[in-house]
Structures are given as structure tokens and as C-alpha cells.
Chain A
């Protein structure tokens, strides 16, 4: 990539967006770090700024400038800046950008051995920190793990524990303007289909490469996958609002809080929304299992990393470590309704009571398995776009279960060849 022009373009963009001072050392010897976030929202930015202020207080002579691009174009902007290898020290790395950022040599490996905070990280946080090539390119700041939300005022005393039960309960709830399940047919919808297919494949699935079975076939190639997809379509047709063919996150949650639907599967950040909505008769449970007795789901995550080209590696790493230590990371997890990375959070009442209990319950169940999605395969991003489209085609009757599974199977067999 030609650097000077791109660098000039990025610099000009940063100047125009009011972020022009750049990282470096001032004449007084003060170190200026530039940090960029990806999942930007006003409240979150405010919270990060307070944490940064604490860091600056604890590290006199170091100042941090936070760049907060708009959410929908943030990762593209971060990629552009990384391509220039200039003016960036600390950045937010997401599960699906970690591999490409490290592949391209943009991330520094973070030291873990001599950092006391490392031993305070939960097993999951440590595992995810080194998920890419066994090296710590980021320290996660929290996890997104799905759970089942259900309305107890809709005649449901016990939550469904299997997808079949969810379908039956949803169908029973469906009448008039009320439906059983907040189906996700819009962006991100295919992930729910994959979740069901995984549960139906059960023990045969390889959790480390969760689109593949232990015998190297894809999870989409089995009769169990077809069974799961048939049920998936039935859940949409018989237990979900027809409009949910285009529902994304906001509509799903709105469906549940407004009383249009009685069940929802979502991340913990919904807890606060449901609490604020005034709905009182609701509860949570671990996600449903397949006939195999297993449930599989990945945990979504993001974290803080340092660039490989920072002029201040010591200070950049220090900032990442500071944000990942117990006090800061728990505050961040609380502020954003995330599953925390610090072991100390387990004794915090917020994470062990009420709606959060279901997450602990799931973590203690060996058959609620955390998987690793093939985010490190070159076709991952393309699959996310294509599979959502396929799911919409399937539930609107434009294609068949067999055709969808055949194309997904072919795609991932091809990907396996590319990676091996």
C-alpha cells in the first residue's frame, strides 16, 4: 500500500474530525498516546474517558487522546489508520478483527508473564487473549454470552431447556398480536441458525473449530443439521412475528419489552434495557440445548491492544494493562453490562444475582459449551454477509434447507483447504 498519500488522507481526516494533535513526545518530555475505540456510543465513551483520566493521574507525564469514530464505520477507519502505521498507540480489537490485524503485523504482542493482572483474569479471558496464534495481541475487556429471556406472565412457569421445547412453548404463546419468540431474521440472524445446528450435532462438533466436526466434515453436512434448520424455519413460521424476517437487535429487544413476544435470546446488555422498560415478570435461563443434550455458543468479545508501530510501547502496554486490571475492568463491565474478565467480579453481587444467574449457571454446566467460531478464516466476513441473506431466502421460501446447507458446506470445505 502506498503510504504517503494514504497517510496524508488519514491525517487530513483526523484533522478534519478534530483529532489532529497526534501521538508523540512534546518538548517538555510529556508522552502523548493516541487511542481509538470501535464500539462507540456516547455513554461508553464517557466511561472510557473517566478511566483514562484515572490512568493519567496514576501516570504523570502521560496523556491519552481518545478517538471515537461512529460505530458503523469504526472498524474501516481503524483499518485505514493501521495501514498507514502512524499516529496510533492503543486500539480496540474485536474478535473478528484480531486475526487480520495480527496477520498484517499491526498488533504488538503484549507481555503477560511479568504483569500481575494476568493471574487475576478468568480462565476464559486468558484463553481469548491468546486465541490468535497463541500470543496475547489483546486483553479482552468483557464478554457477550447469550442467554434466554422469558416472560413469566405469559403462562410459562419453567423455561424451555431444548429447542423443541422452545418451539412448543413459543407456539402455545402465539395468538393474535402476541408471538412466542423474538426471531432474528435481519443482520446477524444466521448466527442463531448456526447455534441450533451446533446443538443438534452435539458431541461430534469440534468446539475449537466450531464449524467443523471432529472428523473434519462441516457441521452443515449432517442430517442433524437439516433437522435443526427445519425446526428453525418452524420457529419462525409458527412462533414468531412475520415481520421478524427483517428484525435486528433493536426490534428483537423491543418485541420482548413491548410484550409482542414472550421469549428472546440475547446478550447480557439487554438486562438493563428490560429492567428499564418496566417489565417485571421475566427471568433468564441458559440457552436451549439440542436433542444431544448439548448447547454450543461462542462468546463475543473485544479488548484493548497496542500497535506494533507505537513510538511509546512501554506506555501503550501500561495503558492496556491498566484498563484490564480488576477495578477498571469491573467498572467497564458494569457500565456496559458485560460478563467481566476479572476473577474478583465473581464476588460482586451484580454478577451473581437476578438475571445474571443464568450466565453463571451456564458456565457451571459442562454441556453448555463455549466454542470458537472460525473468525480466523479468510472467508469469515464474507460468510457473515452471505449467510444472513441465505437465512432470509430460506424463511421467505425462496430457497430450501437442503440448498442452504449445501452451499454453506461447500463454502467451509473450501475455506478448510485455504487454511490448511
Chain B
């Protein structure tokens, strides 16, 4: 029996090995390498000398106004995107939970954006929001909502709004999928019992649905915050962080360091992002654990 267990453990370990090697190679190694680079002078221009420079790269990054602007923009980008994605996603999930004719088609249509790459979505919206040739301006003009074209991606205020609209369109799907799955896990008996007790639909939602799906909601909100923060693709292809840095977030700022060839500074930005996300995750998980135990 014991031999069998050892053999089984070995077999499982062997099966897991390729996965572990891949994760180590493609996740942990780049992270470690980037972390080391953050303390080196590592400019692509000349890699013949890459001395350790202590905290110099961090000092340089933190001394840049652009970094702080990007950090502020990141807050707006994450909070506003998340707010609309969550509530619209929730609404969609509630609607799609009901049975109606063509529900499958609607579901496919709603989930479609999630299958597209962020970069492609960015390019698509960039043309739609184009001030001269974009379809959004055309629609608004034809319906009489505006009387002159708006430079959606040309003015700093509009540019942030535009990238958030595109991101909301993209991310609603994720919430809709996850919340729909969570809603389906609520036992029907609970509703029946609540109904027998005379609870209205709203009270059923408040006292049955919400408590039941709260742990899932907490988890997907955390995941989504991390993903939105790590989602420069859309902004990069829509505005490149412009105009004048008004849509820069810290991950687009990181890309700019890479394009600039300074991998040392890029490593420093990467570590700062990692630190930010780790601190936030720990805080958030603690807060939601407290919520559960209460």
C-alpha cells in the first residue's frame, strides 16, 4: 500500500514537472531577472558593462513627474473602469440569467469582446473615436446630439474618458460571465424558502443572492483590479499614453522605459508595480476575510 502511494506521488510529481518547469522559466525567472536589473545600469545601448548601481534606478523613476502623473491616472483608470464594469456586468448577468428566446445568441454576443486581444480592441476603438473619420462622431452628428466633431482622443479629458469607455465595453463581459456562474450556484431551495416567508424579489436578492455570491464577488473584484492595472494594451494602442501623458498609467510608463532601452529603470518600475499590487492584495484579502468572519 505504502509503495503504491509513493509510486503515485512520484507519478503525480512527474506529471507536474513540465508545468513547474514552464512556470519557473517563463514567470519566476523573468521576475527575478527583472528584479536584479532594477539594481543595475542596464541600458540596451551598451550591455558590455552592467554595473550594480544600488537604488539609483528607483531614485530616477520616483523623481519623475511623469511617474506620479501615471500613478494618479492609474487610480482613475482602475476605479472608474471597475465601477462601471462591475455594475453593468452585474446587470447583464441578472438579465441573462432569465430564460428568453435567443438567450444563447445574446450570451455569445455579450461575451464576444472577451475573446479579442486588448491591442486589437484598442485599434478598433481608436478608429471609432477618431475625431475626423470616426463612426462615433458621425453618429452623434447625425442624431443631432453634437453640432461639431469632438476630438475624443485629442483632448486630455476626453482621452481618459474614451479609453475607460473602451475598457468598460471589454471588461463588462468578464463580470457578466463570473457573476452568472455565481448566480447559478445559489440553491433554488433558498429562494423557495424566502418566497414562502413572503420576501419580495428585492429582499431575496439582498438577503439570499448577495450573501451567497459575496466571496466570489470579492475574488473577481480583486482579480479584475489586478488585471485592469496590468492592462496597458488597450491604452497603448488607443492613445500611446497621450495626449501629453494624460492617459498614461504605470504599465504604459513601464513600456516607455523598455522602448527607451533602459531595462534598469524598467525593472525598477516593474518592482514598484509588484510591490503596489502585493500590498493591495494583502490588504484587500485581509479586509474581505474580516468581512467573511463577521
Q: Which of A's residues lie within 8 Å of B, judged by CB? A: 1-2, 5, 8-9, 12, 76, 79, 83, 99-100, 103-105, 177, 185-187, 241-246, 248, 251, 254-255, 258, 260, 378, 380-382, 384-386, 388-389, 392-393, 396, 398-399
Contact = CB atoms under 8 A, between A and B. Distances in A.
Which interface class (under 10, 10 to 19, 20 to 34, 35 or more) fits B?
35 or more
A83 B87 CA distance: 47
Nearest to A254: B133
B243 A79 contact: no
Given A103-B48, A389-B66, A76 B258 contact: yes
B154 A246 contact: yes
Nearest to A96: B261
Contacts of A185: 154, 242-243
A63 to B, nearest CB: 30
12 contacts: A5-B25, A177-B149, A246-B159, A246-B242, A251-B130, A251-B132, A258-B133, A378-B43, A381-B259, A392-B242, A392-B245, A398-B244
Contacts of B256: 385
A246 B239 contact: yes
User: Which 3 A-B pairs give the minimum distances between C-beta atoms?
Assistant: A243-B131, A382-B260, A393-B244
Contacts of A9: 25-26, 29
A382 B262 contact: yes
B27 to A, nearest CB: 11
A346 B167 CA distance: 51
Contacts of A5: 25, 29
Nearest to B247: A246
Contact of B154 (A187, A245, A384, A399): A245
Nearest to A106: B47
Nearest to B242: A392
Contacts of B239: 246
SS of B interface (majority)? loop
Contact of A260 (B132, B241, B258, B259): B132
B245 A389 contact: yes
Contacts of A83: 47
B34 to A, nearest CB: 13
Contact of B245 (A1, A12, A104, A393): A393
Interface in B149-178: 149, 151, 153-156, 159
B122 to A, nearest CB: 12
Q: Which one of A8, A100, A246, A384 has the highest number of Cβ atoms from chain B below 10 Å of its Cβ?
A: A246
A389 B245 CA distance: 7
A302 to B, nearest CB: 17
B26 A186 contact: no
B267 interface: no
A397 to B, nearest CB: 9
A192 to B, nearest CB: 15
B151 A242 contact: yes
B47 A245 contact: no
A20 B258 CA distance: 27
A382 B261 contact: yes
Contacts of A248: 240
Contacts of B66: 389
Interface string B227-249: 00000000000011111110000
Given A245-B243, A382-B260, 14 more contacts: A8-B25, A79-B44, A177-B132, A186-B240, A243-B153, A246-B159, A381-B44, A388-B242, A389-B66, A389-B244, A392-B242, A393-B244, A393-B245, A398-B156
Contacts of B153: 243, 246
Interface string B24-41: 011001000100000000
Contacts of B155: 245, 396
B45 interface: yes
A333 to B, nearest CB: 28
Contact of B45 (A243, A378, A389, A392): A378
A399 B243 CA distance: 13
